């Protein structure tokens, strides 16, 4: 007898329902969100035929949490069902709008019974790949937090200290650079900045780690911080300086977190067997490679072909046809993290790969805008990545972007 399990997830407890192949309820329970609850669930599954050779599949409305992690560790298929999809299935069982945890668990179990092929189980990624995913996603979040903290501080400085922002223009990382943060911590107001001596500026540069061109930078900052500018009233300026120091501490914490997580992500990624193949691609370094691996994983059965990977990343367009209407549009539903690193990858490849540059230029000549041409290039690179990971070979420029002569010979043959 085939049995299917549905779990209605909550923060402190979970409702479990087991149905057979005919949709009949054969078991139910409410378990706690702890080790005892997990043991109770495993015993309930074992009572209905669960074993290592034929584990009972489970449907749940989340892909995270300790319960999901432990269920995946048992080797069973775990399906993460979108709550909106589950709500549509609920209407098959009742015409009224009643809702209960037990009913939701039964709905999830019946989804597996009737439409398991229409849903995708969570990938069977290795432990190392899952660790890389945690670190890479956390690092990406830290970068977004750093950008947000920097934007808040910049907006605040415009209100009372525009001269400081003007002095930072030669800095590559802007407010996020160690020198910019050290200088603002030393003199958070225009009055204090204008009083900085060359000796004090020299000490600021050394504390920030500057080793070259110190004297030239001292003279530049000494002059830039003394340029006349509009000022707030003295007490208001002092208060805004204190607020800037508070925002600066948040930015310092975000920068430190991003740097620490980047180092940890690279360290874990370089231990993975796929690291050499991924970083053999032009435009992919260890950090961006870790972000790519975090989203595609190392379960090669996850994507049946390159088209599936491209659709998941959002690089492949979607065709909408209805009657005589036909439109090819950008895919909006996609893995946003993979799409974000894809644009970085495609942009970096323009200078690292002659073939990628020629492909991009050809798309631009055909009328594509920059974003469209870049997305098309990313789509091409993703196809190459899927091939290389599947065949366990490194990237080859001539194979990925053959010359026109090779193409002609291939057609003639």
pLDDT at 228 over 80: yes
Q: From CA 108, how far away is CA 90, in angstroms rounded?
A: 9
Confidence tier at 234 by pLDDT (50, 70, 90) = very high
pLDDT at 410 over 60: no
pLDDT of residue 95: 65
pLDDT of residue 362: 93
Cβ atoms of 112 and 6 within 8 Å: the answer is yes
Q: From CA 166, how far away is CA 11, in angstroms rounded?
A: 49
Q: What angle (nearest 5°) sits at the alpha carbon of residue 354, between those of residues 349 and 359?
A: 80
Cβ atoms of 56 and 18 within 8 Å: the answer is yes
pLDDT tens digits, 54-84: 899 999 998 888 999 999 988 899 999 988 8
Question: Could you say which DSSP state residue 175 is in?
Answer: G
Structure tokens at 381: 């690179």
pLDDT of residue 177: 92
Q: From CA 202, how far away is CA 197, in angstroms rounded?
A: 9
Confidence tier at 88 by pLDDT (50, 70, 90) = confident
pLDDT tens digits, 275-313: 999 999 999 999 999 999 999 999 998 998 999 999 999
Average pLDDT over residues 344-368: 93
Average pLDDT over residues 387-394: 95
**Alpha helix locations (H) across 225-324?**
234-269, 275-279, 286-296, 306-313
pLDDT of residue 330: 85
pLDDT tens digits, 239-253: 999 999 999 999 999
Q: Which of 23, 5, 27 is nearest to 81 (CA)?
A: 5
Q: How far is CA 204 from the centre of its chain?
A: 36
Average pLDDT over residues 40-56: 90
Give the position of tokens 């208060």. 239
């Amino acid at each position: 007898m085939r049995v299917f399990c549905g779990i209605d997830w909550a923060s402190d407890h979970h409702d479990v329902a087991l149905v057979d192949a005919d949709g009949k309820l054969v078991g139910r329970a409410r378990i706690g969100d702890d080790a005892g609850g997990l043991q109770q669930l495993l015993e309930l599954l074992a009572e209905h035929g669960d074993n290592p050779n034929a584990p009972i599949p489970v449907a749940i409305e989340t892909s995270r949490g300790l319960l999901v992690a432990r269920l995946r560790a048992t080797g069973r298929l775990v399906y993460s069902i979108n709550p909106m999809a589950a709500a549509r299935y609920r209407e098959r069982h009742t015409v009224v709008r009643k809702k209960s945890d037990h009913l939701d668990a039964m709905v999830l179990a019946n989804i597996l019974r009737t439409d398991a092929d229409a849903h995708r189980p969570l990938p069977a990624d290795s432990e190392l790949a899952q660790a890389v995913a945690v670190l890479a996603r956390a690092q990406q979040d830290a970068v977004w937090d750093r950008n947000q903290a920097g934007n808040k501080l910049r907006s605040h400085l415009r209100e009372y200290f525009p001269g400081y922002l003007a002095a930072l223009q030669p800095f590559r990382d802007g407010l996020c650079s160690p020198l910019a943060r050290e200088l603002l911590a030393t003199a958070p107001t225009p009055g204090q900045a204008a009083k900085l001596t060359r000796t004090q500026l020299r000490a600021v540069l050394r504390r920030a780690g500057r080793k070259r061109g110190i004297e030239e930078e001292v003279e530049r900052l000494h002059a830039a911080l003394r340029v006349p500018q509009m000022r707030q009233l003295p007490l208001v300026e002092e208060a805004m300086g204190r607020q800037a120091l508070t925002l600066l501490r948040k930015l310092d914490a975000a920068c430190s977190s991003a740097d620490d997580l980047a180092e940890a992500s690279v360290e874990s990624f370089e231990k993975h067997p796929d690291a050499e193949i991924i970083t053999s691609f032009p435009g992919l370094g260890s950090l961006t490679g870790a972000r790519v691996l975090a989203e595609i994983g190392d379960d090669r059965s996850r994507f049946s072909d390159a088209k599936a990977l491209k659709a998941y990343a959002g690089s492949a367009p979607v065709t909408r046809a209805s009657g005589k209407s036909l439109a090819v549009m950008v895919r909006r539903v996609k893995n946003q993290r993979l799409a974000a690193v894809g644009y970085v990858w495609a942009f970096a490849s323009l200078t690292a790969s002659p073939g990628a540059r020629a492909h991009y230029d050809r798309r631009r000549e055909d009328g594509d805008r920059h974003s469209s041409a870049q997305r098309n290039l990313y789509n091409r690179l993703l196809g190459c990545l899927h091939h290389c990971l599947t065949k366990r070979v490194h990237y080859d420029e001539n194979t990925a972007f053959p010359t026109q002569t090779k193409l002609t010979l291939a057609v003639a043959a």
